[in-house]
Structures are given as C-alpha cells and as structure tokens.
C-alpha cells in the first residue's frame, strides 16, 4: 500500500486496523460476500494530495502476495480498484483534508 501511494505522494502511515466482519455495506466487488478479513489503512499526506482517480489508476492491477491472512482467494493475485466484480481496494478521502489545488 505504501509503495503504491508513494508513486504520487509521500504517505506517512497513521494506523492499520484489521477487521473480520461482514462486508455487506462496504463497496468491495460483487464477488466478495459475507464475513471477510480486510484491512483499513490510514495515511497522512503532508502536501500535494493527488486526485483520487489517479491513485485508483495506480492501484489497479498491481500484483500482491496472497495466501497470507486473507479469507478470499484472489484470482488473480492483484489489487483491483476498478472492476465491479473483483474490486478489493477502496480509497476514501478524509473529508477534513483540503483537496488538490
């Protein structure tokens, strides 16, 4: 996560939270249902916050190591930020932060 974000910004990790619960109300792809393990990362970017669409482009199709602690089989083992079926990366901006100028 940090390496991909680092393509456009200098992220400073604030916290990582591991969840193991229903993903019903989360915007993951339609292939993912029920109770799953997922991680929530919070970062601070001091300046130059890139457009969200650019960050999503950077994440899409990046290979990842699977068969760790995840509860789903990633086929293929990639970050997917755009595909409605396989989306496994969701990026939500902090609405308290100013957007790009």
Q: Is residue 100 assigned to a domain?
A: no
Peptide bond before 69: cis, by omega within 30 degrees of 0?
no
Q: Is residue 19 assigned to a domain?
A: yes
| Position 3 pLDDT exceeds 80 | yes
Tell me which residue range forms the domain holding 10: 1-95
Would you say 42 and 14 are in contact if contact means Cβ atoms under 8 Å apart?
yes
Number of domains forming the structure of the chain: 1
Q: Is residue 71 assigned to a domain?
A: yes
Peptide bond before 7: cis, by omega within 30 degrees of 0?
no
Please give the Cα distance from 85 to 81 (Å, whole number): 10
| Position 101 pLDDT exceeds 50 | no
Please give the Cα distance from 32 to 30 (Å, whole number): 5
Q: Is residue 43 assigned to a domain?
A: yes
- pLDDT band for position 96 (cuts 50, 70, 90): low
**Exposed/middle/buried for residue 88 (C-beta within 10 Å: 0-12, 13-18, 19+):** buried
| pTM higher than 0.75 | yes
Q: Is residue 101 assigned to a domain?
A: no
């Amino acid at each position: 996560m940090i390496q991909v974000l680092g393509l456009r910004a200098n992220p400073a990790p604030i916290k990582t939270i591991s969840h193991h619960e229903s993903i019903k109300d989360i915007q993951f792809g339609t292939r993912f249902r029920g109770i799953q393990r997922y991680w929530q990362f919070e970062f601070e970017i001091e300046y130059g916050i890139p457009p969200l669409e650019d960050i999503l482009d950077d994440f899409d199709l990046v290979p990842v190591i699977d068969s760790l602690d995840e509860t789903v089989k990633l086929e293929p083992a990639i970050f997917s930020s755009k595909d409605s079926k396989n989306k496994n990366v969701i990026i939500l901006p902090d609405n308290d932060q100013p957007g790009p100028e």
